[in-house]
Structure 1
Amino acid sequence: MHDYGVDVRVLLLGGTADGRELAAALTQAGIDVITSVAGRTSQARNQVGARVGGFGGVEGLIGYLSANEIDAVIDATHPFASRMTANAAQACAATRIRLLRFTRQSWRTHPHAADWAWVPDHAAAAALAAMAPGRVLLTVGRQPLPAYRSLNDVVARVAEWQGDEVPAGARILESRGPFDFDAELALLRDEKITMLVSKDSGGAENGAKLDAAAQLEVPVVMIARPPLPEGLPEITSIADAVSWVSTPND
């Protein structure tokens, strides 16, 4: 175990595979870590040792940080969890607690990124998809599906379906990744997909669908990540994040 010799308590806002890896690395480095997850999926709710649930907005988070003597916060939530990121930024600014955004590498650097139609939000993605003939594969998660109600031939792949009303014209494919290239190729072919709509979740483990789409010349609509709060530092390396924790505050 590498002990960085720092006596700090870190609140890790998690819920992603990257967050779990970072929590393990921080613990191995001898750093006191409290992991908090929103608990929207059974996988997140069952994470061993994690605090589950929201904080009650910015004021609730401020109270939690003070009550638990938190010295630093690492936001390792999903790249599209913009509300939690904004709340963390406000709460840390109010309490003068250090905050870091830790996230997986964006797909902006993907070899085929220049070939995709990049859009700012789900409304823009739905508008583009509505103009395309054929069947659309949505890999945007469960919560944004209402934005695509105007589409009449959709396969929506979600990690976990929770009994929500299925939008008209959509078929839910409940399946949890990661998915390999051959499986993604077969899905696109078998479902006769003519357009893929995704969001810039990033990471190598979720990118096989993009390589399969390129091989089959299936157009991709990619939703860009929401902007980070001004001045919030961002790191994509676990080693760099652990080092950040060990660095004294300026």
Structure 2
Amino acid sequence: MKILVLGGTADGRHLAERLSQLGVEVLYSIAGLVRVPTLPCEVLVGGFSQFGGLATFLKQRQIDLVIDATHPYAATMSNTAVAAGQETGIPVWRFLRPAWQPQAADDWRNYQNDDDLLEQLKDFKRPLLSAGQMTREQLLAITQSEGFEQGVWRTAVLPKFDVPETITWLKAIGPFDLDSERDLLKRYQIDVIVSKNSGGDSTSAKLDAARELGIRVLLHQRPQVNKAVRTFSEYSQLIEAVQAFSASASSTQEPQQQ
């Protein structure tokens, strides 16, 4: 059996590694914007347009199962995977981290789009922008919002443009710990955090630090994506399902080989 894992996340990387250890043939795909992992399987970098599209790739490489383990906000890739699965008849499963849930002492607000974010930022002076990649235009709009003084923008990828002077860019790749996040918020006198609701433990320490310091958190609502054949939020359940799928596929192929 051959599985394509759509990754670019720690979840996807761990999944590809574990399935390879179990003897499953795995192809692991990433955009390659940050770093290319070393894995005991084939790693594909740069998307599927180089192969004529995902559906064509699935047929050419005789993929039996696709597991979408991309970031919860990678809606385009997730929808492309579902469409390719429907076109080829190849099942597409999704691993989706549960969204973060607020605790009693949290001060969280959701925002839907850039305009909504700007409206909610007008009462703050020093935001930590930790929602991933942004354009120069988006950053400029934030710097021009009412009350803005100085901001910090933290990403894993070097910007391809000149960052506005009132924005301090920090390169950092998780996981982050509570002490370092607390120190960051204090050092730059952050009074609001902008983040995606990514889920998981890798970047959740900033939420704990915000709770301690009484800082508001603005969370970008997760995008709606097309439904996969099956969706898992527990890693162990996904592994068990893959093993069952593999066993079922092997049993149906045996008579054809006799």
Task: Give the TM-score range, shorter chain.
Answer: 0.7 to 0.9
Contact 1:155/1:172, CA 8 A, preserved across alignment? yes
**SS of equivalent to 1:149:** helix
2:151 maps to which residue?
Answer: 154
Q: CA deviation at 1:145?
A: 6.0
Q: Gapped runs of 5+ residues in structure 2?
A: 144-149, 250-258
Q: Is 1:38 matched up with 2:31? A: yes
2:213 to 206, 211, 216: 216
Contact 2:82/2:227, CA 8 A, preserved across alignment? no
Q: 1:111 to 1:58 in 2, by over 3 A?
A: farther
Q: Distance in 1 between matches of 2:50 and 2:112?
A: 25
**SS of equivalent to 1:15:** coil
1:4 maps to which residue?
Answer: none
Alignment of 1:1-250 (within 5 A): 8-41=1-34, 43=35, 45-48=36-39, 49-56=42-49, 60-107=53-100, 109-111=101-103, 115-129=107-121, 131-143=122-134, 146-152=137-143, 153-167=150-164, 169-230=166-227, 232-245=229-242, 246-247=244-245, 248=248
* 1:95 maps to amino acid: T
* 1:227 maps to amino acid: Q
Residues 192-249 of structure 1 show CA distances to partners (whole Å, capped at 9, x for unaligned) of: 1111110011111211100100111111101121112135532122222122223348
Residues 6-47 of structure 1 show CA distances to partners (whole Å, capped at 9, x for unaligned) of: xx2100011111111111111122211111111111x1x354
Larger Cα Rg: Structure 1 or Structure 2? 2
Q: 1:112 to 1:10 in 2, by over 3 A?
A: farther
Q: 1:242 to 1:206 in 2, by over 3 A?
A: same
Q: CA deviation at 1:142?
A: 2.2
Count of aligned residue pairs for this structure pair: 238
Q: 1:202 to 1:166 in 2, by over 3 A?
A: same
Q: Distance in 2 between matches of 1:226 and 1:115?
A: 22
Instruction: List structure 1 segments (4+ residues) > 6 angstroms apart after TM superposition.
Output: none
Q: Distance in 1 between matches of 2:17 and 2:141?
A: 43
Q: In angstroms, what is the RMSD of aligned CA positions?
A: 2.2
**SS of equivalent to 1:97:** coil
* Percentage of pairs with the same residue: 35
Q: CA deviation at 1:150?
A: 1.5
* 2:235 maps to amino acid: I
2:146 maps to which residue?
Answer: none
**SS of equivalent to 1:11:** strand
**SS of equivalent to 1:193:** coil
2:254 maps to which residue?
Answer: none
**SS of equivalent to 1:151:** helix
Q: CA deviation at 1:119?
A: 1.7
* 2:132 maps to amino acid: G
Q: CA deviation at 1:70?
A: 0.4
Q: Gapped runs of 5+ residues in structure 1?
A: 1-7
